[in-house]
Amino acid sequence: MSTTLVNRFRHLSGARIFSRREALRALAGVSGVATARGASGSDRPNIVVIVSDDHGYADVSCYDHPKEISTPNIDRIARSGVRFTQGYVSAYVCAPTRAALMTGRYQQRFGFYTASDSRAGMPLTEITIADILRKQGYATGAFGKWHLGLEMPYHPLKRGFDEFYGFLGHGGHDYFDLKPQSEDYRSIWRNDKVIEDTGYLTDNLGREAVNFVRKHRTRPFFLYLAFNAVHFPLQAPEETIRKFDTGKRNRDIYLAMLYHEDRAVGQLLDELEKSGLARNTLLFFLSDNGGARNNASNNGVLRDYKHSVYEGGIRVPFLVSWPARLAPNTVFREPIICMDILPTVAAAVGAQLPSDRTYDGKDLLPYLTGKASPPIHDWLFWDGDEGRRAVRHGRWKLVDNNGKIELFDLEADVGEKNDLSAKHPDIVQRLRAGLEDWRKKNAPRIRPKPGAPDEDELDRPRQSKKELRKKK
Ligand code: CA
């Protein structure tokens, strides 16, 4: 094993760092477990994917974080598994990232570029991670935000899920008003029916996730828990907001929303532990895009926010744990991306991927267990069909903002402060060519409506100001 690979397996800050020998021993042990358990029969792991929404890169306390951030339960995932420092999503807004996560493919392959494409729905030719797991005999449940289609053919129950509680669209939802809405897709659904519920939506999603685990503890299950927290509108119970005092009202509300989300994650982790399922559960946690400007989130050293192809829009908190297979308390420093979840999960449960299509995601398990050496992705691409594009190749990242080209060395300059395009025209040329080649392979937009409002424009005006006034 190379020294660089050993260096990737460092403990979290504050903990000690593996020596080379210790790392080798730990990895050998992990590999031994892998061989003994296999990936079939009753040893098949449960799968949990937790998606946070518009969650700042610095707003998890197992990452470098401002002092007011405390996410003890999300941190438990990092302690029992792997924290990615370069975990990417394939889009700078919600819906396209979810399309890639669900399919293991660049969403542009099937024409899904922007949040508003969710109104057309994710093409029915796509096979979801839930389709694959249901075929393997898994109980499948989706809880929270869907955002991959508003009509019944695109409903979670038609995309591989046995159970659903949540809302179909758009990007955000009122956290307190859970009564039926004039448009069905804005209402809360249980399975294929609109329902009326009460309470605080984030708490309800935690409740649903826990109930799902209890109900299916005796068979393998796939739980997709897609919080709309901490997406706009900024709303939380007043008694929770009072716990925080940053001097900024919006930040306090955001922290309160995050408090409820973290607590719900804790309830789910507690249930997995109580049921004896935690050890053989493969669990991912990630945000669907970077922290947004409108929810008082913090992306730390990263440049910019949601809607941007700078790192602040696309590099997110990203964790995975599987105590039966993966070493605990590990930091993995290679770039990975949300499409990797599906092939990793398929390998973990022993499912063959359909051979009639190309998968862009990679099975991460060989890399996480030291059996394969990075790079995992030679190239990574971003394109929202809105003039903002980017490509990453090794340490280099090229950003194209409506024709303004910049080049960054992310190993030396994670904050993307120093544009090196003039200094390295050859690298610019190579990355631009790579980006253009990739774009040629993609499908045209499924809903080509230039200027169609995105999710935030649809959801922002009617809820935020009214609610903020009410809460003041
Ligand atoms: Ca989002």
Distance 98 CA to ligand 1 centre (A): 9
Using the mean position of ligand 1's atoms as its centre, give its distance from the Cα of residue 226 in Å. 10
Alpha helix (H) ranges present in 121-248? 129-135, 201-215, 238-241
Q: Ligand 1 centroid to 440 CA: how many Å?
A: 27
**Residue 472: what residue type?**
K
Q: Is the pTM of this model over 0.85?
A: yes
Taking the CA atoms of the chain, what radius of gyration do you get in angstroms?
A: 21
Span from the CA of 443 to the centroid of ligand 1 (angstroms) = 23
pLDDT in tens, 354-389: 999 999 999 999 999 999 999 999 999 999 999 999
Going from the Cα of 93 to the center of ligand 1, the distance in angstroms, rounded, reads 5
Rounded Cα gap, residues 425 and 427, in angstroms: 5
Could you tell me which of 244, 273, 276, 272 has the C-alpha nearest to residue 258? 244
Distance 287 CA to ligand 1 centre (A): 7
Instruction: Give Cβ neighbours of residue 459 (< 8 Å, ≥ 6 apart).
Output: 170, 171, 172, 232, 233
Task: List pLDDT tens digits, range 323-365.
Answer: 999 999 999 999 999 999 999 999 999 999 999 999 999 999 9
Question: For the purposes of burial, counting CB atoms within 10 Å of the CB of 217, is it exposed (0-12), middle (13-18) or buried (19 or more)?
Answer: middle
pLDDT on residue 31 = 37
Catalytically active residues, by annotation: 94, 147
| Spacing, Cα 294 to ligand 1 middle (Å) | 11
Are 30 and 325 in contact, with CB atoms under 8 Å apart? yes
Tell me phi and psi for residue 347, to 5 degrees.
Answer: -65, -40
By the 8 A CB rule, do 256 and 263 touch?
no
User: For the purposes of burial, counting CB atoms within 10 Å of the CB of 12, is it exposed (0-12), middle (13-18) or buried (19 or more)?
Assistant: middle
* 218/220 Cα distance (integer angstroms): 7
In this structure, what token pair is assigned to residue 313? 């829009």
Q: In order of start, what are the domains of the chain with their CATH numbers?
A: 3-16+44-377 (3.40.720.10), 386-440 (3.30.1120.10)
Residues of the chain with pLDDT under 70: 1-42, 448-472
